[in-house]
Amino acid sequence: MSGQVAVEDFEAMWASLAPIGRAGDGGYYRLAWSEADLACREWFRRQANSRGMVVDEDVNGNLWAWWGGPGPNAVVTGSHLDSVPGGGAFDGPLGVIAGFAALDRLARSYTIPPRPVAVVSFSDEEGGRFGVACAGSRLMTGQVAPEKLLRRADAGNVTMADAMRSSGLDPNRCGEDPQRVADISVFVELHIEQGRCLADVGAPVGVASAVWPHGRWRYDFEGQGDHAGTTRLADRRDPLIPLAEMILATRREAERADALATVGRVEVHPGATNAIAGRASAWLDARAPSAGTVRKVLDAVTSTATEKCHRHLVELTSAEESWSDGAEFSVPLLERIAGCVAAVLGDAPRLATGAGHDAAILAARVPTAMLFVRNPSGTSHDPRESATIEDCLSGVDALTAVIADFLEDSELSGPRL
Ligand code: GLV
Ligand code: MN
Ligand code: MN
């Protein structure tokens, strides 16, 4: 590790990552295993190599940069580098860059850390290409069967197995990685906040208390294509009518249940102005503080879609693409890291979030915590997502203090946390 740094190195890391996968409107397209994603992976390797860290790609394509070499009782930080289509610059990369920056600071105090430390970049966190969120961390922790994931296809009919293969990974080796998980004594993910809680209370950094359960479902509406200028309304089997009703039901049921539910993606075939569509698909994303509430919204939306399809002679099929249980983070652990943050920045608010994270997947297996950095507008999954450099550096200060606290704890082990 080099031992220098701070603002210049932090900004240099951003500057070298920023052009990768950025479209003309500033939105990022870093879908898993795409060319842009592979370039981000190369960027990660360069960052690690420039610090003399050992880079290790696990069987699920997650990238690990080790300070002090891989080994047991490791302190791990990091996040992800992939994005949703048209995403912002900070969702994911902030946690990876802050991880490297925190270790740069710690390298001023340690030539060799007292226990292994890693920065990880989990593969395919967003599920923007194959529909399943947190694929890399789920596979690693054995929370999804590889067969289920690997056969999923993207919009161009490329399966996840093929995408991995063409990136040099052997999909037959994917799956649970118990030794790697057992070696993690604590995982701390730093992430941009994806709402306005910190902005509202005027705090640069907060600590996560919980991640809501959430899921994604696909609805396929099969109707009958026909001529827009000659087919009588009574004779139509237009799949877009029940699809539109399903979108309205999504909003209505979310309001009723005090949940969040969204249809952010539809596909219409063939998509001609002067033709009734033959088929259409819509994807529902639903989230709430409890799994029961999410299921209630889902059931109500499906029931409306079914009834409207029946009325318009449209065939409906629906399927779950992704389910995330959510997590309640360990209170002693989150209070411990809140104490570290308070020592450098003052009181850190605790907040629950509806956004999904690898940390929520890891929390089911290892002691896990999260830090959030203020996002002034609260906007995320959009090019307007932002954080000031001052707040990002406050995040690095907080993360450095948290990692230092774990490095100094000679009794660090799962049960105590
Ligand atoms: C990921 O950011 C998600 O919340 O879907
Ligand atoms: Mn995201
Ligand atoms: Mn993220």
Domains (range + CATH), the chain: 4-212+326-407 (3.40.630.10), 214-324 (3.30.70.360)
Q: How do residues 135-194 score in pLDDT, each as one tens digit? A: 999 999 999 999 999 999 999 999 999 999 999 999 999 999 999 999 999 999 999 999
On the question of pLDDT at 102 being above 90, the answer is yes
The whole-angstrom separation of Cα 87 and Cα 396 is 22
Looking at residues 117-127, what average pLDDT do you find?
98
Looking at residues 278-296, what average pLDDT do you find?
98
Predicted local distance difference test score (pLDDT) of residue 415: 41
Looking at residues 380-396, what average pLDDT do you find?
97
Cα 191 to ligand 2 centroid, rounded to whole Å: 10
Predicted local distance difference test score (pLDDT) of residue 122: 98
Predicted local distance difference test score (pLDDT) of residue 249: 98
pLDDT band at 26 (very low <50, low <70, confident <90, very high): very high
pLDDT band at 45 (very low <50, low <70, confident <90, very high): very high
Q: How do residues 195-223 score in pLDDT, each as one tens digit? A: 999 999 999 999 999 999 999 999 999 99
Closest Cα to atom 5 of ligand 1: 356
Predicted local distance difference test score (pLDDT) of residue 413: 59
Residue located via tokens 């979310």: 254
On the question of pLDDT at 333 being above 80, the answer is yes
On the question of pLDDT at 316 being above 80, the answer is yes
Query: Which residue among 126, 284, 372, 375 has the greatest number of ligand 1 atoms within 8 angstroms of its CB, and so is best to mutate?
Result: 126
Question: What is the chain's mean pLDDT, rounded?
Answer: 96
Q: Which atom of ligand 1 lies at the shortest distance from residue 355's CA?
A: 4
The whole-angstrom separation of Cα 21 and Cα 31 is 9
The answer to whether the CB of 355 is under 6 A from ligand 1 is yes
The answer to whether the CB of 126 is under 6 A from ligand 1 is yes
| All residues with CB under 5 Å from ion ligand 2 | 91
Predicted local distance difference test score (pLDDT) of residue 7: 84
On the question of pLDDT at 3 being above 60, the answer is no
User: Helix 7-17 to helix 389-407 angle, to the nearest 10 degrees?
Assistant: 110
Contact 21, 11 (CB under 8 A): no
3-state secondary structure of 199: helix
Exposure on the CB side of residue 269, measured as CA atoms within 13 A: 10
Spatial neighbors of 88 by CB under 8 A, at least 6 apart, are: 27, 28, 192, 379, 380, 381, 382, 383, 384, 385, 386
DSSP string, 92-112: THHHHHHHHHHHHHHTTT-SS
Pick from 18, 32, 100: nearest CA to 62: 32
Contact 143, 324 (CB under 8 A): no
Pick from 196, 210, 91, 191: nearest CA to 395: 191
Candidate from 117-131, 262-276, 367-381, 401-415 with smallest mean pLDDT: 401-415
Query: Helices in 121-262 by DSSP H: which ranges?
Result: 135-140, 146-150, 160-166, 178-182, 197-201, 240-257
Which tokens sit at 79? 């996040």
Predicted local distance difference test score (pLDDT) of residue 107: 95
In the chain, % of residues over pLDDT 90: 95
On the question of pLDDT at 410 being above 80, the answer is no
Q: How do residues 49-98 score in pLDDT, each as one tens digit? A: 999 999 999 999 999 999 988 999 999 999 999 999 999 999 999 999 99
Q: What is the pTM of this model?
A: 0.95
Contact 414, 83 (CB under 8 A): no
Q: How do residues 334-376 score in pLDDT, each as one tens digit? A: 999 999 999 999 999 999 999 999 999 999 999 999 999 999 9
Cα 383 to ligand 2 centroid, rounded to whole Å: 12
Q: Report which DSSP code applies to 53.
A: P
